[in-house]
Structure 1
Amino acid sequence: MLTGNEIRQKFIEFFESKKHKHFESASLIPDDPTLLLTVAGMVPFKPYFLGQKEAPCPRVTTYQKCIRTNDLENVGRTARHHTFFEMLGNFSFGDYFKKEAIVWSWEFITEVLKLDKEKLWISVFESDDEAEQIWMEECNFPKERIVRLGASENWWAAGPTGSCGPSSEIHVDLGVAYGGDENSKLGDEGTDNRFIEIWNLVFTEWNRMEDGSLQPLPKKNIDTGAGLERVAAMVQGKSNNFETDLLFPLVEAAGKLTSTTYGDTPEKDFSLKVITDHARAITFLINDGVIPSNEGRGYVLRRILRRAVRHGRLLGTKDLFMYKMVDEVVELMAIAYPELRENLEHIKKVVKIEEEKFSNTLDQGIQLVTNEIEEAKKRGENKLSGDVTFKLYDTYGFPYELTEEICEEMGIEVCKDEFVSKMEEQRAKARAARTVVMEKGQDSFIEEFYDKHGKTEFDGYEIVAEEGKLLHVRNIEDNKYALIFDRTPFYAEAGGQEADHGTIEGNGVFGKVIDVQKQKEIYTHTVIIENGEDNLNEGAMFNLAIDTTRRSEIAKNHTATHLLHEALREVLGSHVQQAGSAVSADRLRFDFNHYEGLTEKELEEVERIVNTEIANALPVSIENMTMDEAKAKGATALFGDKYGNSVRVVSVGDFSMELCGGTHIDNISKVGLFKIISEAGVAAGVRRIEAQTGFRAYETVVGTDKLVKKVSKTLKTDVNKLDERSEKLMDEMKDLNKELEALKAKIATFEANSLFENVEEINGVKVLVQDFKDKDANSLREIVDKAKDKLGSCVIALGADNDKAIFAIGVTKDLTGKVKAGDLVREAAKIAGGNGGGRPDFAQAGGKDGAKVKEALEAIKTILVENLK
């Protein structure tokens, strides 16, 4: 019996023998901006199928890691639903077609996998006579086990228009135990769990036009996909994917970590399968650079991780366990994906941090949902309103999907439409709060200009000044103009790099260029005209010259970001990817994916690495090559960036190689000095480093040196002993603070004793209401405690005017049935323009208006008179 690893390997070897080139699995983060994640084996080859790019070779075979979450609720409930799965595929780009695809699939499943021919069924598109004929004549497949199905089952399309074609699917019959009877056929009602699809062969041969008609494609393509988990189940004689050797070791590991045995109950098995499936998805997503967040791919990761953690709770474990599952996944999958071992510690750390965060709130969230469900049932309702589910999500951070799942388990409905409506209402408010200014008509103007004049010739990589013909003039305001020339040396703002500045001169005109923007290869220069506005004539020639000093400073900073990127990967791990940048003349900003703040030691190491390479005077080389050549050389490309067939590769010695369209220096030594000035988080899983280079970095170092000397002088110590002096002063400060707190306690005792003459009785209850000037919250609390100890049964209400209002209220426990400190302080705070609350026996609050303290305390006295009757 073949193992899952053997099936994967034999598939690749089989198609290599048919002259296919093996491509390694692409990332789960696709280059396609229309897709959040890689959902099928054909995703990396989509540009070839759509004719957007020329295929690198005519025949390709892969095993591709994939993620789908469209039916997450079924994962763990059924035998074959997964979030993470592997797709085996063979592809032809204008080479072979139906006959070869069908014959080779038959050969592989019957001769290599040795599946029982008598248990196989085939589906073809309802009008595809050719495919049916090939199955019968070339494979000797019986006509009675070939079923014709409609477009919903056996037709593939890239979209409403474009390439499309029929498909043929191979199914395995598990037998009457899984549905139907002896006469049942593929496609009959009630046989979904009996006939298992294992391989889909798509014949892309048509182009659907706008009017819906079909025209033959000039090149016909083959796109096939076989789910490895399903194939393994059929080969290994398992009706459930989770019981194959690809998954069952993880089921057992989940059982050990949660003290659960597989097979005990369907409910426990469900939870073990969820943990197993999600552990694979989590591991591979993080390995490919995804970090937990509240949007996009990060939210997919966070959602499935939290779902897995909750199922651990259902199995009775409150310990952190998901990060331990990563070890098991890597051990099982590293044969096919060896890069997992390199990133093991990083993956575990990300999972553990996220698991800790969620575990702290999970129990509270589950209790909140349970309470809301019980309250709804008491009211005779069988559903949770959108108000409730949105409050749980928005106020308490409890995922809607978990609320929905808990409700389903407890037999209550969720008003999803109401929740979605609330979410959209919140988004609309956020959108309304943002002001977006757009220049109307600009897009259509650029299109018309491009059709008339073509693109602007950019020569700025090679030269810093040249002559250009003025093609378009538009007055923006006063003496500010938008100018377009036929050619320019000015670099337009792009890739985070600021635009060049400089001058234009000619025809009696002199102007300063303060910005350059590029749209569809048209460079629009924003220019302040200082002389000769009347001579800005279209067709005239002008000398365009960039500010070379500014260009040089920007180039230093830009090249330094390449070193910084590589240094971060060395120190933090290969998961680090650029998430944004801003390069100007005075500093650089670099955003990158990482799950926690950098330690002082890590920052020092990053800075040391960059400065070491600067000192090594590495040469900077720039080459233009094809994208495939760049990838083969190992150049780093940025996710989300669009690259043409020809790309620009910037190499800093052997240290760094990136695809980049920016301007750079020719030797890294020209950077001079690199200094990190700040590091902070800017979004979930995204950190930001700001740094300076060259003379500005030197000025920062000098400024820091001056500050150190000034502080040393103030503290009357030598610079070299500043740390010792600082530590000594901190110890002294701690001792003084202890003395201060002790004195405050004595003062509070004294004040409490002196206040006893102000105690009055309201209906037999001792009450002390007192206002102060300039008392802090801790002092008020001290007085409350002392007074309660001294008076026994009592109510103490204190307030202080510190410009703002502070209140502290204490009620001895024997009186909390009549008055509650939290209720009293809330009323006082309202009067002073604030809010607060607390326990029935003690509460604190604040307000904006300290002048209202006396009025608020009088209001409390009135409430006490009423409540203590």
Structure 2
Amino acid sequence: MTAKKIRQSFKDYFENKNHKIVSSSPMIIKNDPTLMFTNAGMNQFKDVILGNALVKYTRIANVQKCLRVNGKHNDLEEVGHDTYHHTMFEMLGNWSFGDYFKKEAIEYAWEYLTEILKLDKDRLYVTIFEGNSSEKLERDNEAANYWGKYLPKSHIIDGNKKDNFWEMGNMGPCGPCSEIHIDIRSDEEREKVDSLTLINKNHPQVIEIWNLVFMQFNRKIDGSLENLPQKVIDTGMGFERLCMVVQGKASNYDTDVFQTIIQAISTITKFSYGQNSQRDIAIRVVADHIRTIAFSIADGQLPSNTKAGYVIRRILRRAVRYSYTFLEQKRAFIYRLIPSLVDSMGEVYPELIAQKKMMQKVIKEEENSFLQTLEIGTKLLNKKIQEAKTKNKTTINGVDVFILYDTYGFPLDLIKLILHEQNMKMDKASFDAEMSKQKERARNATTIETGDWIVLQEGDTQFVGYDTITTQARILRCRKVKQKNTEYYQIVLDKTPFYAEMGGQIGDSGQLIDSNGISISIIDTKCENNLVIHIINQLPENLYDTFNAEVDARKRRATECNHTATHLLHEALRLVLGTHVEQKGSYVSSEVLRFDFSHFKKVTEKEIRQLEKIITKKIRQNIALEEKRHIPLVEARRLGAIALFYEKYEENVRVIKFGSSIELCGGTHTTSTGYIGNFRIISEFSISAGIRRIEAITAEKVESFFYAQQDIIHNAKMLLNHTSDLLQSIKKLISENILLKKQVETYNREKTIFIKNQVIKTKKQTPSGINLFILEGFFPASIVKDIAFQIGSEFTEKSYFAAATVAEGKPLLTIMISNDLVKNGLNASQIVREASKIIKGNGGGQSHFATAGGKDINGLPMALKEILNKVH
């Protein structure tokens, strides 16, 4: 069976078992602070499992694209070194929410594997939870008995808590699980070594293919367990491994899932897969990582230096590193694999087809950027190696290595490889110390401790913020949160007008007023796992009171103006630049709006003016908001509503329409465009390959902006003697400045020649015949450098130039040494670094030319003496 047929057979089987087949959610996670990426099929059902969302379907199955870069058996640096672990993978899963449980889950899994896929029953093994006495958890005899209907006891293995008790985290839903393993070794190998001894031992051909999780407990913050009111079945089967088993391959990479990409890699690099173990690892790394990178970009996550974007950039750079080192690819080539990926997976995931051009642009730019980093990093590392060798050292300072690794992004394993080739090594202790400091800083910045929710009353939150900014409300639940030594509280209300941060729009702030008139500030509103969470600094005295919940009206109205303006901007961009423009992200606050969009060149000043005119015209037309709530997604698309390709929408959606601007949107908006008042674009720039960003302001912010511009013009006129023609006066000033600059340059050239000649006239010679050229005094740094190079070009042998000068009130040391003296062991960079300590500074440069600045002018004579003492 092909991969495509296997994937479809899974969907067909569970559809016949009355499961609702749902589409994959994006790999990029939103509104869940505990996750950056979808790392399991259950992620999109987390709200249902936690009880924060209603159960729409009690039986569900799907194929989910996932990304894992750490965790059990998934260290990023190991991917590619074996044949069955990946960063991006597909997870086949079926779920039951309060419907069937262990008996049916086991029956379905067994029937699908043995009857539909025809896997050899004799090669299948299962593990069940052995129990845990310290937590008073009993052995899962129920699952063992159900498995006993299909497998002999010898194929049913007790597993420990680590392998056979699934937990969402330190708290939350959890329960025992059964893993299904298969041994695909040859009969001869199976006779030699018993399969039972290889289960969960990371053997590449004795592997887990399916995990059936039986969620029946909820773990509280104190570690105790309570029964879930509604039991859940959550299963996950790795698609790539399943294809390997069904297709009779020894490696996931030998299946048709990867072979199209691998063949493309071989064609481009001229290296065949299976000929060299080190190159095979590199080919597997690239084949795996191109999928991760492409799917992430298609889902709206661009490589960057923060959070999820940093992870994607790290994965891409790992692929570049392997192709650079082992596949001899010194120029960008990974982006050329996108057509092969689209050909093999585009039919199943149409977002790849839609974003093909974008993926190629972004990846190519990222490749070129990192290849430059590799070149710069190699030069910097070689410099450190030469400096160490000059001092007869074989160890590089770990701090220097960490700077290369952390600041320049130079890969650690490549650093080690280069050092090994030079018979050098790094000081691991100092490197580890720097790494520990960085991790501690990261932990301190991100660690959040949350307590258990205290449930005051049952119920769900009703959001009324589209229609009002005030309402009466009661608290449903609350909990304490601690982050970076700061404590605050989170509360959930039964009814709220507060919009929770989502879809680029910031969360509302405001106040909660109790029946005694005491006000508590709501400083922010977040959406987390389908809960609207209000953040406050202190809890009310009476948690069971009825409160007035009031949104900050000024801030909300300003935010609405900016949000409505983003819709008008989106439409205007497509009119002015073309229909290729797609929204790639946005940020809407009360202060500013930011809109990211696909476009492959700078937006010109003329185009910006066009955009502003189109939007301002729509503002003056005072177009009324037309809103449709809870309409079917199919109907919304029929109306022409723009949907973001990387969003997963509910079956029923909200449509926002301002004239010809029609979009799916959950944010808050003005009742008509006239409320926006004014609109101005304040900046436009590139944030990535093919992605531009516009920042703009509306309403009162535009007024403030114009007043500030008027003040600048007024002050400029005053500085130019109250000129009536500001532009002409500036042009005249520039012309005069250019003329004066030319005069100064002429003067400096003449001055430089004069000083140089004076230095040459006063040259000295050492007993060994070295020409000493010495310069002292107050001179600009540029003149000193010019003199040094002029003397160096005239005296190409046995010349040594040393300057101790003052520029702009600061001491400066400059050294120029002829090449023959450098070959004899003199090093300008080393000499100037040592002398710079006397003037309380530092510096460096090349072996023939170096400079140093400092703080202590009084130390210049001693520093010059130190420099001259280096020659005899």
Instruction: Return the TM-score normalized by structure 2.
Output: 0.74
1:280 alignment partner, one of 291, 294, 301: 291
- Map of 1:476 onto structure 2: none
2:341 alignment partner, one of 317, 320, 329: 329
After superposition, residues 264-275 of structure 1 pair within 5 angstroms as 264-275=275-286
Shift of 1:150: 1.7
Query: CA separation in 1, counterparts of 2:701 and 2:622?
Result: 19
Residue type of the partner of 2:819? K
Q: Check whether the contact 1:288–1:575 (CA below 8 A) recurs between aligned residues.
A: no
CA offsets, 1:288-338, max 9 Å, x none? 222333443223212221111111122222111122223322232111111
For structure 1, which segment, 615-624 or 291-300, has the greater mean C-alpha deviation from structure 2 after superposition?
A: 615-624
* Gap change, CA 1:746 and 1:563, over 3 Å in 2: same
* Gap change, CA 1:843 and 1:595, over 3 Å in 2: farther
Query: CA separation in 2, counterparts of 1:429 and 1:156?
Result: 30
After superposition, residues 487-566 of structure 1 pair within 5 angstroms as 496=506, 517=523, 553=558, 555-561=560-566, 563-564=568-569
* Gap change, CA 1:278 and 1:791, over 3 Å in 2: closer
- Map of 1:362 onto structure 2: 374
2:585 alignment partner, one of 562, 565, 577: 577
Query: CA separation in 1, counterparts of 2:752 and 2:657?
Result: 69
After superposition, residues 117-516 of structure 1 pair within 5 angstroms as 117-118=120-121, 120-125=123-128, 130-131=142-143, 134=146, 137=149, 141=150, 143=152, 146-151=155-160, 152-159=162-169, 162-169=173-180, 171-176=182-187, 179-181=189-191, 184-188=194-198, 192-206=203-217, 217-313=228-324, 314-363=326-375, 365=377, 387=399, 389-394=401-406, 396-400=408-412, 419=431, 421-426=433-438, 496=506
1:100 is the counterpart of 2:104: yes
| Residue aligned with 1:867, SS | coil
- Map of 1:478 onto structure 2: none
Query: CA separation in 2, counterparts of 1:543 and 1:490?
Result: 10
| Residue aligned with 1:255, SS | helix
- Map of 1:22 onto structure 2: 21
* Gap change, CA 1:573 and 1:231, over 3 Å in 2: farther
CA offsets, 1:696-729, max 9 Å, x none? 5266458758978999998999999999x97x99
CA offsets, 1:371-397, max 9 Å, x none? 999999999999998656534424543
RMSD: 5.9
CA offsets, 1:98-127, max 9 Å, x none? 4433343344334443x3435541314265
Matched pairs, number: 806
Query: CA separation in 1, counterparts of 2:496 and 2:407?
Result: 53
Query: CA separation in 1, counterparts of 2:101 and 2:650?
Result: 29
- Map of 1:659 onto structure 2: 666
After superposition, residues 657-806 of structure 1 pair within 5 angstroms as 657-660=664-667, 664-678=669-683, 690-694=695-699, 696-697=701-702, 700=705, 741=745, 744-763=748-767, 764-773=769-778, 775-790=779-794, 793-798=798-803, 799-806=805-812
- Map of 2:55 onto structure 1: 55
Residue type of the partner of 2:666? L
Q: Check whether the contact 1:460–1:488 (CA below 8 A) recurs between aligned residues.
A: no
Query: CA separation in 2, counterparts of 1:40 and 1:467?
Result: 39
Residue type of the partner of 1:846? G
Query: CA separation in 2, counterparts of 1:487 and 1:456?
Result: 4
Query: CA separation in 2, counterparts of 1:833 and 1:156?
Result: 60
Gaps of 5+ in 2: 131-138, 474-492, 526-531, 539-546
CA offsets, 1:212-236, max 9 Å, x none? 8877654333222222111222222
Residue type of the partner of 1:241? N
1:809 is the counterpart of 2:815: yes
* Gap change, CA 1:181 and 1:387, over 3 Å in 2: farther
Q: Check whether the contact 1:825–1:844 (CA below 8 A) recurs between aligned residues.
A: yes
Q: Check whether the contact 1:293–1:685 (CA below 8 A) recurs between aligned residues.
A: no
Shift of 1:431: 9.6
Query: CA separation in 2, counterparts of 1:412 and 1:754?
Result: 47
Shift of 1:568: 7.6
* Gap change, CA 1:212 and 1:752, over 3 Å in 2: closer
- Map of 1:481 onto structure 2: none
Q: Check whether the contact 2:331–2:368 (CA below 8 A) recurs between aligned residues.
A: no
1:835 alignment partner, one of 818, 836, 842: 842
Query: CA separation in 2, counterparts of 1:15 and 1:554?
Result: 45
Residue type of the partner of 1:59? R
Query: CA separation in 1, counterparts of 2:443 and 2:235?
Result: 43
Q: Check whether the contact 1:154–1:168 (CA below 8 A) recurs between aligned residues.
A: yes
| Residue aligned with 1:577, SS | strand
* Gap change, CA 1:391 and 1:694, over 3 Å in 2: closer
For structure 1, which segment, 601-610 or 153-162, has the greater mean C-alpha deviation from structure 2 after superposition?
A: 601-610
Residue type of the partner of 2:287? T
Query: CA separation in 2, counterparts of 1:337 and 1:544?
Result: 44
Query: CA separation in 2, counterparts of 1:269 and 1:544?
Result: 62
| Residue aligned with 2:257, SS | coil
Query: CA separation in 2, counterparts of 1:261 and 1:458?
Result: 59
Residue type of the partner of 1:156? W
- Map of 2:64 onto structure 1: 64
1:845 is the counterpart of 2:852: yes
Query: CA separation in 1, counterparts of 2:863 and 2:420?
Result: 48
| Residue aligned with 1:301, SS | helix
CA offsets, 1:801-829, max 9 Å, x none? 43234444323334444754434544565
Gaps of 5+ in 1: 469-485, 527-541
Query: CA separation in 1, counterparts of 2:760 and 2:394?
Result: 57
1:40 is the counterpart of 2:40: yes
| Residue aligned with 1:55, SS | coil
* Gap change, CA 1:640 and 1:414, over 3 Å in 2: farther
Query: CA separation in 2, counterparts of 1:753 and 1:707?
Result: 48
Query: CA separation in 2, counterparts of 1:417 and 1:825?
Result: 29
Query: CA separation in 2, counterparts of 1:807 and 1:868?
Result: 16
CA offsets, 1:574-613, max 9 Å, x none? 56223x5431xxx425386999996546866765664465
Query: CA separation in 2, counterparts of 1:357 and 1:180?
Result: 49
1:4 is the counterpart of 2:8: no
* Gap change, CA 1:231 and 1:394, over 3 Å in 2: closer
Shift of 1:51: 3.1
* Gap change, CA 1:776 and 1:290, over 3 Å in 2: same
* Gap change, CA 1:550 and 1:93, over 3 Å in 2: closer
Query: CA separation in 2, counterparts of 1:107 and 1:552?
Result: 58
| Residue aligned with 2:256, SS | coil
Query: CA separation in 2, counterparts of 1:467 and 1:237?
Result: 64
Once the two structures are aligned, what percentage of the paired residues are identical?
33
Query: CA separation in 2, counterparts of 1:92 and 1:488?
Result: 30
| Residue aligned with 1:220, SS | strand
Instruction: Return the TM-score normalized by structure 1.
Output: 0.75
Q: Check whether the contact 2:832–2:844 (CA below 8 A) recurs between aligned residues.
A: yes
Q: Larger C-alpha radius of gyration, 1 or 2?
A: 1
| Residue aligned with 2:589, SS | strand
- Map of 1:856 onto structure 2: 860
* Gap change, CA 1:20 and 1:822, over 3 Å in 2: same
Q: Check whether the contact 1:303–1:399 (CA below 8 A) recurs between aligned residues.
A: no
Residue type of the partner of 1:84? M
- Map of 1:529 onto structure 2: none
